[in-house]
Amino acid sequence: MAASVVNSRPDNPIVGACLIVFAVFLMSLQDAIIKYASSDLTLWQLYVLRSGLALPMLAVVVMLKRSARTTLAAVAGHWVTLRSCLLVAMYVSLYAAIPLLPLSTLAAGFYTGPLFIAILSAVLTGEPVRRRGWLAVATGFVGVLTIIRPGTGDFSLLVLLPVLSGLFYALAAIVTRNRCQHDTPVALAASLNLVLLVTGAASSLVLLVWQPIGASLPSFLSGTWTAMSLREWALVAMLAVLIVGIGVGLAAAYQSARPVIIATFDYSYLIFSTMFGFMLFSEIPDLPTIAGMSLIAMAGLIVVRS
């Protein structure tokens, strides 16, 4: 990615920080609901139905705002579509493990994302990372290792899925800031939901036609749609509202200031996910997980001070 991209929009880190905290609160609530629904519905069914409801909501927002920049061409732009594909890859790798891992462990693995943002910002865009920034990266990495505990009996390869998700999230954040800054947040959210819808429909079709592919996958990824009660429809409708808020909030946040700054406040997801894990699933993090999360949060504070 060229480092010469000029961002003419002035930075507003305070607005960006508020937006990202709001967005990750919605994201943690969304992930808790999906974990709750994962025993009854498949991921691809959720993708299709949720985005099928979210896209009309976004269309209403466009009509109310009467934004001339939110056009079909803007939604289907090359960089906008790439950003959406990266976010879909993020969701798939994260949700592949969501029925099997505690929310706090998922959150810790996923929030290697801000660490990847610091590294990739330096490599891909030439954004300088000072010594404190590298100290934050090292501290956060130690925190992640403390949680996933490689080389011990507690280590599971499943924990690497949220880490991979964090990498995709970092790439999407950098693309948002450097290549999609002048696209409207609504257009970015609409593109994301369109790619989610297509991914869900295509995956469902593939697994329906070639059923042996799904035989080795967890049931949440098997692609077999199930009948839905009023409760499941209510959950899907709630998820549709949340994905609209998340899509718009994330886009606007990373358009407001440098990714390294916004990513620092992204760490609030750790708090929210642990809270929802305890409230909804009685999940209590063990001491190594708490210690690792504290190190990851400390890494964020180092970035703030730098």
Query: What CA–CA distance (Å, rounded) separates 260 from 140?
Result: 14
DSSP state of 1: -
Query: What CA–CA distance (Å, rounded) separates 197 from 54?
Result: 10
Rounded to the nearest 10°, the torsion over CA 227, 194, 250, 95 is: 40
Give the per-residue pLDDT at 83.
Answer: 93
CA distances in angstroms from 172 to 52, 180, 270, 289, 291, listed in the order given: 23, 10, 20, 27, 28
Task: Return the residue matching tokens 């998922």.
Answer: 106
Give the per-residue pLDDT at 4.
Answer: 40
Give the per-residue pLDDT at 50.
Answer: 94
Give the per-residue pLDDT at 304.
Answer: 61
Query: What CA–CA distance (Å, rounded) separates 221 from 43?
Result: 6
Q: What are phi and psi of 110, to 5 degrees?
A: -65, -35
Domain residues of the chain, as ranges? Answer: 18-305
**What would you report as the CA-atom Rg of the chain, rounded to the nearest whole angstrom?**
19
Query: What CA–CA distance (Å, rounded) separates 220 from 134?
Result: 38
Give the per-residue pLDDT at 5.
Answer: 44
Q: Which residues contact 274 (CB under 8 A, 6 or more apart)?
A: 103, 104, 107, 283, 285, 293
Q: How many CB atoms lie within 10 A of CB 210?
A: 11
CB contact at 8 A, 65 and 187: no
Query: What CA–CA distance (Å, rounded) separates 108 from 142?
Result: 12
Q: Is 152 helix (H, G, I), strand (E, B) or coil?
A: coil
Q: pLDDT tens string for the chain (306 positions)?
A: 444 444 455 678 888 888 988 999 999 999 899 888 877 788 899 999 999 999 999 888 877 766 555 566 667 678 999 999 999 999 898 888 888 788 877 877 787 777 788 788 777 877 766 777 778 778 877 887 787 776 555 556 677 888 899 899 889 988 988 888 788 888 888 899 999 999 999 998 888 887 655 555 667 777 678 888 899 999 999 999 999 999 889 888 888 887 767 777 777 787 788 888 888 888 887 788 788 878 877 876 776 666
Give the per-residue pLDDT at 295.
Answer: 83
